[in-house]
Amino acid sequence: MSHRLFAPPFVGLGAPKAATTWLFHCLQEHPSVFIPDEKEIGFFSYLDDIDGRMPEYLSYFRGAESTPAKGEIFVMYLSNPLAAERIKRHLPDAKLFLSLRNPVEQIYS
């Protein structure tokens, strides 16, 4: 069975101090959304060889197969040059959303 059948349909990324933690908690509270308890999985950033490890990634979403929306949020995907290509290759239908902030306000935060 293809891992794409159970792959999360969205991935959130953003800048540090751009309300991704707040967004993570809001999505966790929504009854039609599944977000793993671990906010920063970072699967597409940290591992060198992810091709054979997709079952490990999908294990974060075990039990949520029938949930209408599921996904993850990790700010460092935005700054990792490998993450975008890896997400596109392994989750080609996933929607990406970005949380950004005014850089001046971000510095003072």
Q: Which residue segment(s) compose the domain that 51 sits in? A: 3-108
Q: In whole angstroms, give the CA distance from residue 43 to residue 22.
A: 21
pLDDT of residue 96: 92
Domain count, the chain: 1
pLDDT for 6 equals 63
The phi, psi pair for 70, rounded to 5°, reads -145, 150
Q: Tens of pLDDT along 45-99? A: 877 778 788 888 889 998 888 888 999 999 888 888 889 889 998 899 999 988 8
Q: Strand, helix or coil at 99?
A: strand
CATH code of the domain in which 29 resides: 3.40.50.300
Residue 64 burial (CB count, 10 A) = 17
